[in-house]
Amino acid sequence: MKGKLLFLIIVLLIGAVITWLYFSKIKEEKQNNYKKVQVVRGDINVSILSTGYVQPENRLEIKSPVSGRVEQVLVIEGQMVKKGQILMIISSTERAALIDAASARGTEERKKWEEYYKPIPVFAPIDGTIILRSVEPGQSFTSQDAILVMSDRLTVKAQVDETDIAKIKQGQDANIVLDAYSERVIP
C-alpha cells in the first residue's frame, strides 16, 4: 500500500513539473511576439462591400418596321455602339421567302436574287450600350418584337448597410465587379 502511495505521489509531482514547464514556455512565446514598427502618417482606406444590380437609366427598344428574318447580328450584349453603326442585317418576310425559293433552284439563282433584293440594315439610333439581344441569325420576328434593347447610360443600384452610410460621401470613387466578368474591375 505504501509503495502504491509513493508511486502516485511521484507521478503527480512529475505531472506538475511537466505542466509548469509547458505553461511557462507558452507564456515566454507570447511575450516574444511583439516587434517595433515605425509610426507613419497616412490615409486609411476603407472598403464597403455591397451587392446590387445594373439597370438602364434610359431604355430604348429597337423594333423593325417590317416582319422578317435575321440574317446577321453584328453586336453582342454589353457592347458600346455609336449612333449610325449597323447593328444587324435583316430580311423582310418576302425577301426571306424569295431567297429560300431561289436557293432551292441553285446557287446561281440565289446569288441573282440576293443581288436584286438587298437585305435591310438596322442602325443604332443613339450612342449607347446593347443591353439585350433577343434574336439570333436565322430567327424570325414580327414588327412588334424588340429585336435589340439599348441604353445610353447604365446605373448601379446597391444596398449599403446603415452602419456604413456615414463612410460614403458624394463624388467618391467606387469599383464595380460584375458576376459575369469577375476578373474585370470597373471604376
Q: Mean pLDDT over residues 29-34, rounded?
A: 61
Residue 86, beta-bridge partner list: 123
- Which amino acid, 56? P
pLDDT value for 119: 92
Q: How far is residue 41's CA from residue 38's CA, in Å, rounded to a whole number?
A: 10
Helix (H, G, I), strand (E, B) or coil at 11: helix
Contact at 8 Å (CB) between 77 and 180? no
* Number of Cα atoms under 13 Å in the Cβ half of residue 99: 18
Rounded to the nearest angstrom, the gap between the alpha carbon of residue 99 and the centroid of all alpha carbons in its chain is 40
Task: Give the DSSP H/E element, type plus range, for residue 110.
Answer: helix 107-116
pLDDT value for 29: 60
Residue with cell 458624394: 170
How confident is the model over 52-75, as pLDDT tens digits? 888 888 888 898 888 999 999 999
Residue ranges of domains in the chain, CATH in brackets: 54-89+123-167 (2.40.50.100)
pLDDT at 30 over 70: no
How confident is the model over 77-108, as pLDDT tens digits? 889 999 999 999 999 899 999 988 988 998 99
On whether the pTM is more than 0.85, the answer is no
Q: Mean pLDDT over residues 9-23, rounded?
A: 81
pLDDT value for 150: 92
Count other C-beta atoms under 10 Å from residue 178's C-beta.
Answer: 13
